[in-house]
Amino acid sequence: MVLLGLLTCLGFIFAKSGVSAGAVSEYYRQEELGLGGKPFLELLETAHFHLFTMPIFFLVLGHIFFLSSWNEKAKLAVVLASFVSLLAEIALPFLIVYHSGRWAFLEHASRTGLFVTFLLFVFVPIREMWWGTRTAR
């Protein structure tokens, strides 16, 4: 179900804010509409939602991922990459609106980072649960 949630999230993100950095910048800054950017309360509401829901995913999926047979450094790197991507995902809309549209190029990097790390959180434990782990001989 998490995988389906991730896929619908991707569709929602790209349909809403576009694929290019310019489209992302326009989505947040709304310069063509002359609105001066997304309202602060809308950005705050999105940040609030992410700050309350995403830690639950980290807690549950991260704990299960840490039970996998991957070495500890690799697991820690994946969790840290996911955490940094989430922080960027929360901070970038504010930076795009209130500092510069040039920050938009990092949106897809942060989204990709979250997507890839969450795929690892889901598929590594499933692979090991269903097909076992390889043991060194």
> What confidence tens digit (pLDDT) does each residue in 8-47 have?
887 877 787 777 888 888 888 887 766 678 889 999 998 9
Instruction: List all residues 6 or more positions away from 63 whose beta carbon is below 8 Å from its beta carbon.
Output: none
134 in a structural domain: no
C-beta neighbour count of 33 within 10 angstroms = 9
137 in a structural domain: no
Pull the structure tokens for residue 58.
């980290």
Structural domain total, the chain? 1
- pTM assigned to the model: 0.81
24 in a structural domain: yes
6 in a structural domain: yes
Residue-wise pLDDT tens digits, 75-130: 999 999 999 999 999 999 999 999 988 899 998 899 889 989 999 999 999 999 89
**Torsion over CA: 68, 58, 61, 114 (sign):** negative
The string of DSSP letters for 38-98 reads S-HHHHHHHHHHHHHHHHHHHHHHHHHHHTSSS-HHHHHHHHHHHHHHHHHHHHHHHHHHH
Pull the structure tokens for residue 118.
């969450």
135 in a structural domain: no
Instruction: For residue 114, give its domain range.
Output: 2-129
136 in a structural domain: no
94 in a structural domain: yes
44 in a structural domain: yes
